[in-house]
Chain A
Amino acid sequence: MKAKVNITLKNGVLDPQGKAIEHALLSLGFTGIDNVRQGKVIEIELDEDNAEKAQADIKNMCEKLLANTVIENYDIELLG
């Protein structure tokens, strides 16, 4: 089973990288843009076939290492 973890900064945490991207987009002439936020995507292949179990494993990984919950949110996508 393959899983995809999306890690994003929590609302309220200033995102200087997102801001820089927003600025660059505006300077390239893209208008009507707001609130650009940058995050990361981590893909993981698991031996586990049980979706519930996989979800729990990944959640544990997120809490322990993949995300810093002081500043980051995460969501888990199981890709079957």
Chain B
Amino acid sequence: MKSAVILFPGTNRENDAIKAIEQASGKRPEIIWHGDNDLPDVDLIVIPGGFSYGDYLRCGSMAAKSPIMRAVITRANNGVAILGICNGFQILTESGLLPGALMRNSSLKFICKRTNLLVENADTSFTNQYKLNEIINVAVAHHDGNYFADDETLNRLEGEGQVVFRYSDIDGNVNDETCLNGSQRNIAGIINDKGNVMGMMPHPENAINNLYGGSDGCGLFNSIMEAI
């Protein structure tokens, strides 16, 4: 499997993502600079976490208009698998590849902690190695992960199985108490209607080692290998 990781000047979790992809696929992804207009021929494009261009206007807003994102949008429309993690998710919503928006956490604070996620759709290219309703433990690390969309969009996402992960407790309970950032309906990750573009706030790439951080994130990267 060939993959690419997009690098904006303020991206800072690229090495974490590269390690996870390399561990799952045995192949190092190509790193693509934000100013490039073209993408190599790849099966997977990952937009990792960080602060793209400093995230000064809105997180991901300026990155969404960068030269490389025009190329990413073209690939997405051609069905190439795109994964946006954290800032990557923000960029995907800002670029219109995924619906909704990511607002400031309801606590107004940056949150870095491990959380449980309920896998609501185990039938995607990104989650086929998980079981439906499986609970996985991964970390979040963000200031703006508070997912918002209007009710119509939320109903459509839920109706079409596009909500992939929700913040839950260890028993899979999804409620206000387990919603660490104020996201509507506890949404932590969604997929587009075609099933090739996924965005999520949590960091599966930081949960790939049993010695620390757990290995619940491996399933996600292994799923992509399986699907492609």
Q: Considering only CB atoms and an 8 Å cut-off, how many residues of chain B contact the other chain? A: 21
Known: A14-B182, A70-B149. A64 touches B103 (CB 8 A): no
Task: Write out the residue numbers on chain A whose beta carbons fall within 8 Å of the beta carbon of B150.
Answer: 12
Q: By the criterion CB–CB under 8 Å, are B61 and A16 in contact?
A: no
| Complex alpha-carbon distance, A70 and B100, angstroms | 6
Q: By the criterion CB–CB under 8 Å, are B100 and A17 in contact?
A: no
Q: By the criterion CB–CB under 8 Å, are A17 and B101 in contact?
A: no
Chain A binder among B104-112, B128-136, B212-220: B104-112
Q: By the criterion CB–CB under 8 Å, are A65 and B57 in contact?
A: yes
Interface string of A54-80 (1 = CB under 8 A from B): 000000000011101011000000000
Q: By the criterion CB–CB under 8 Å, are B146 and A16 in contact?
A: yes
Q: By the criterion CB–CB under 8 Å, are B104 and A17 in contact?
A: yes
- Output the least CB separation between A73 and chain B (Å): 13
Task: Write out the residue numbers on chain B whose beta carbons fall within 8 Å of the beta carbon of A20.
Answer: 108
Q: By the criterion CB–CB under 8 Å, are B101 and A14 in contact?
A: no
B34 interface contact, C-beta 8 A: no
A13 interface contact, C-beta 8 A: yes
Known: A65-B62, A66-B57. A16 touches B105 (CB 8 A): yes
Interface string of A38-68 (1 = CB under 8 A from B): 0000000000000000000000000011101
Task: Write out the residue numbers on chain A whose beta carbons fall within 8 Å of the beta carbon of B121.
Answer: none
| Complex alpha-carbon distance, A37 and B102, angstroms | 17
Which A-chain residue is minimally distant from B96 (CB atoms)? A70
- Output the least CB separation between A38 and chain B (Å): 10
- Output the least CB separation between A20 and chain B (Å): 6
Known: A64-B65, A65-B62, A70-B93. A16 touches B104 (CB 8 A): yes
Interface string of A18-29 (1 = CB under 8 A from B): 001000000000
| Complex alpha-carbon distance, A65 and B64, angstroms | 9
- Output the least CB separation between B156 and chain A (Å): 14
Which 3 residue pairs spanning A and B have beta carbons closest together?
A70-B101, A71-B101, A16-B106
The chain B residues found within 8 Å of chain A, CB to CB, are: 57-58, 61-62, 65, 93-94, 99-101, 103-108, 146, 148-150, 182
Could you list some 24 contacts between A and B, CB below 8 A? A12-B150, A13-B103, A13-B148, A14-B103, A16-B103, A16-B105, A16-B106, A16-B107, A16-B108, A16-B146, A16-B182, A17-B104, A20-B108, A64-B65, A65-B61, A65-B65, A66-B57, A68-B58, A68-B61, A68-B94, A70-B93, A70-B148, A70-B149, A71-B103
Q: List 16 other contacts, CB 8 Å, given A13-B148, A20-B108, A71-B148.
A: A12-B150, A14-B103, A14-B182, A16-B105, A16-B106, A16-B107, A16-B108, A17-B104, A65-B61, A65-B65, A66-B57, A68-B58, A68-B101, A70-B93, A71-B101, A71-B103
